[in-house]
């Protein structure tokens, strides 16, 4: 009662333009200008014979950072469109679901970095003589790194929309478009933003990696922070390298502060629960923008009159609104199905062609002995991934539970862990490798540390989330019955965090396979350290451009990942779901 009264009071104040609106206007136009400015650089001429020169002058960092950021956001925009289209199709169409879900499952577990050489050559052929091809390949790499997770999340939210909310929308005869805007997107908004944040964070790794690559013996560099770092390391310019790392941190922090925090603060109202929850996420930028009158003005003076005019036009054209629409004629229903069938068949045909070409390329060039060698290397890398997962679990589980028990620590630690997970650790690899060389640590073991640097965080913040989600009545019950120490862990904490741990460990292991491609073959100035493993092998054949071996080594890695997913993670998921699901 009290809160509504104050809201009423606030609405009565006559709102007008203020300096806030000027700042917001400047912000909007500044953003547009920046996009144009950095976008122009994307279509410059590119000669394959000579690589782009990246200057290590510190004053160039803002420009390079802008280019990297633009790449990230374009990729994210594509991911978002793909997520909406594919998630929606999977949720609403039986046939589409049968195709999309298994494909997403496979694509999610494929190590994206392995395909970089193939996509780069493909996109370069699409845009000959322009840097746009390489640019597209880089964007595509980021896209493939983040999109599957988002699409899955959106699909999952769509199918878990409560039945009564759907029925209400149907009962009030909302059109498909209205249902999408009023029900489907809002109800999945919260998970969509969280998933986007995580995927976007993972994207930094791919952008840093794909900006400077050696494909088919050609050195290709895109202007960006990743390539700046690579150039600095090549030149041995430590100051520039440190500046690049700082700039990367700044860019990640800025994305968090200027985009994700405001979005989270705004999306708090999309939470599904009908009870008032504790502290809502805050964002200074969101609070600032909300003070602007500009958006209300646009709504009042532009969008409302437009929609009214549209409705009047529709009325004059004599659209009957009250009568229900007759079901579409048979022909009208069959046309989209036929088109879908043709498209599907064409896709299948293309895929079969691709598989045949791949098998043909591999068949005559790869002997059984080589294949077995690949499997052996795969086992070695798998050992590293497993060791990383186990050690990270043992280290971070107690720490995560401790952090979760202290709300003050958790409030600081969670964003920190998120940023740590976002930071593209491949940028710091050169330094760590330098340390390995100096300390005489074998890269065979050292690569485990390199892999862990990027992926352990997933385990940490899933454990934190799990421990924070333990209902307080269960904790109080445990305290009442005097459970402490190991018995407390065994009866309450471990079962409660297990489902969360499975999610975190599965993500970490998936990321680790990708990271192995960068971590097992690391360069520091003139020294190159190479570990025995499938990741190093893939990195090597990619640089050489040995197509049959690229295909077969990636195929082996995919096989490993898909098999561990099916045989291990899927079962753990099911077990967790059955045994340890709260409520």
Partner 1 sequence: MPTTTLTTSTAGPAIQQSIIAELCNVTKTYGVAGGRQLKVLDQIDLAIHEGELLALLGQSGSGKSTLLRCLTGLAVPTTGRVLAYGKILEGINPYASIVFQTFALYPWLTVEQNVAVGLMSRLVTRAEKEAAVEKAIDLIGLNNYHDAYPREISGGMRQRVGIARALVAEPKILCLDEAFSALDVLTAENLRNEVMTLWKEQGPL
Contact residues for partner 1, defined by CB under 8 A: 1, 3-5, 7-8, 11, 162, 164-165, 167-175, 178, 182-183, 186-187, 189, 269-276, 304, 307-308, 311-312, 314-315, 319, 321-327
Q: How far is the CB of 258 from partner 1 (least distance, A)?
A: 23
CB atoms within 10 A of CB 545: 15
At residue 15, φ and ψ (nearest 5 deg) are -95, 140
Strands 218-221 and 212-215: antiparallel
**SS3 (DSSP) at 111:** coil
Whether residue 513 contacts residue 389, with contact meaning beta carbons closer than 8 Å, is answered with no
Q: How far is the CB of 111 from partner 1 (least distance, A)?
A: 38
Cross-strand pairs, 529: 522
Q: How far is the CB of 274 from partner 1 (least distance, A)?
A: 5
Which C-beta is closer to partner 1: that of 49 or that of 277? 277
Place of tokens 């941190």: 249
- Taking the CA of residue 388 as centre, how many other CA atoms within 13 Å lie in the half-sphere pointing to its CB? 35
CA distance 243 to 228: 10
Q: For residue 112, give every residue at least 6 positions away whose Cβ sits within 8 Å of its Cβ, in sequence order, or none.
A: 141, 144, 145, 206, 514
CA distances from 238 to 56, 95, 279, 440 (A): 11, 55, 43, 21
Which C-beta is closer to partner 1: that of 323 or that of 439? 323
Q: How far is the CB of 151 from partner 1 (least distance, A)?
A: 22
Which C-beta is closer to partner 1: that of 269 or that of 566? 269
CB atoms within 10 A of CB 185: 17
Helix (H), strand (E), coil (C) string for 279-291: CCCCCHHHHHHHC
H/E element, 150: helix 132-159
Q: How far is the CB of 219 from partner 1 (least distance, A)?
A: 50
Q: How far is the CB of 165 from partner 1 (least distance, A)?
A: 5
Which C-beta is closer to partner 1: that of 271 or that of 406? 271
Which C-beta is closer to partner 1: that of 217 or that of 277? 277
Per-residue b or e along 307-317, where b marks 16 or more CB atoms closer than 10 Å to that residue's CB: eeeeeeeeeee
Q: How far is the CB of 411 from partner 1 (least distance, A)?
A: 23
Place of tokens 């770092």: 229
Q: How far is the CB of 293 from partner 1 (least distance, A)?
A: 17
Which C-beta is closer to partner 1: that of 15 or that of 235? 15
Which C-beta is closer to partner 1: that of 37 or that of 315? 315
Q: How far is the CB of 153 from partner 1 (least distance, A)?
A: 18
Which C-beta is closer to partner 1: that of 273 or that of 279? 273
Which C-beta is closer to partner 1: that of 300 or that of 360? 300
CB atoms within 10 A of CB 47: 9
Which C-beta is closer to partner 1: that of 45 or that of 325? 325
CA distance 222 to 399: 40
Q: How far is the CB of 309 from partner 1 (least distance, A)?
A: 9
């Amino acid at each position: 009662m009290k809160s509504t009264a104050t809201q009423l009071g606030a609405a009565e104040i006559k709102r007008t333009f203020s300096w806030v609106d000027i700042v917001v206007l400047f912000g909007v136009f500044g953003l547009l200008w920046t996009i144009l400015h950095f976008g122009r650089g994307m279509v410059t001429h590119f000669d394959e014979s000579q690589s782009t020169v990246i200057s290590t002058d510190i004053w160039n960092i803002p420009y390079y950072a802008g280019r990297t950021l633009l790449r990230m956001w374009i990729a994210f925009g594509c991911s978002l469109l793909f997520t909406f289209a594919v998630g929606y199709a999977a949720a609403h169409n039986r046939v589409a679901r049968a195709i999309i879900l298994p494909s997403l499952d496979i694509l999610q577990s494929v190590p994206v970095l392995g395909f970089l050489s193939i996509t780069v050559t493909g996109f370069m052929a699409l845009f000959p003589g322009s840097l746009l091809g390489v640019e597209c390949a880089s964007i595509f790499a980021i896209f493939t790194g983040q999109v599957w997770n988002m699409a899955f999340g959106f699909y999952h939210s769509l199918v878990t929309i409560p039945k009564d909310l759907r029925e209400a929308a149907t009962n009030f005869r909302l059109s498909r478009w209205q249902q999408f805007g009023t029900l489907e997107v809002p109800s999945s908004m919260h998970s969509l933003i969280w998933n986007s944040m995580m995927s976007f964070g993972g994207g930094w790794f791919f952008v840093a990696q794909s900006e400077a690559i050696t494909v088919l013996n050609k050195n290709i560099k895109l202007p960006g922070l990743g390539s700046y770092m690579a150039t600095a390391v090549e030149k041995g310019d430590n100051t520039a390298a440190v500046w690049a790392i700082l700039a990367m941190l700044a860019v990640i922090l800025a994305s968090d502060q200027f985009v994700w925090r405001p979005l989270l603060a705004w999306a708090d109202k999309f939470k599904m629960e009908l009870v008032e929850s504790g502290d809502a996420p805050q964002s200074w930028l969101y609070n600032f923008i909300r003070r602007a009158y500009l958006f209300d003005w646009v709504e009042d003076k532009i969008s409302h009159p437009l929609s009214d005019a549209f409705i009047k036009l529709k009325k004059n054209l004599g659209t009957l609104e009250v009568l229900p629409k007759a079901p579409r004629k048979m022909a009208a229903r069959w046309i989209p199905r036929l088109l879908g069938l043709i498209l599907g068949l064409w896709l299948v045909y293309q895929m079969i062609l691709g598989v045949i070409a791949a098998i043909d390329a591999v068949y005559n060039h790869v002997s059984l002995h080589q294949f077995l060698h690949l499997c052996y290397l795969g086992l070695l890398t798998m050992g590293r991934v497993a060791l990383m997962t186990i050690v990270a679990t043992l280290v971070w589980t107690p720490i995560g539970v401790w952090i979760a028990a202290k709300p003050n620590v958790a409030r600081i630690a969670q964003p920190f862990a998120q940023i740590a997970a976002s930071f593209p650790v491949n940028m710091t690899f050169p330094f760590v490798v330098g340390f390995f060389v100096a300390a005489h640590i074998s890269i065979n073991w050292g690569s485990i540390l390199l892999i862990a640097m990027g992926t352990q965080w997933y385990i940490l913040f899933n454990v934190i989330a799990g421990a924070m989600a333990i209902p307080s009545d269960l904790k109080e019950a445990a305290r009442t019955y005097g459970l402490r120490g190991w018995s407390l862990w065994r009866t309450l904490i471990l079962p409660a965090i297990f489902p969360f741990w499975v999610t975190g460990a599965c993500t970490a292991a998936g990321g680790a396979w990708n990271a192995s491609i960068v971590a097992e073959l690391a360069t520091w100035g003139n020294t190159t350290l190479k570990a025995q493993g499938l990741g190093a092998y893939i990195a090597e054949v990619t640089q050489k451009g040995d197509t049959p071996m690229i295909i077969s080594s990636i195929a082996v890695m995919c096989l490993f990942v898909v098999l561990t997913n099916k045989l291990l993670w899927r079962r753990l998921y099911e077990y967790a779901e059955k045994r340890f699901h709260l409520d």
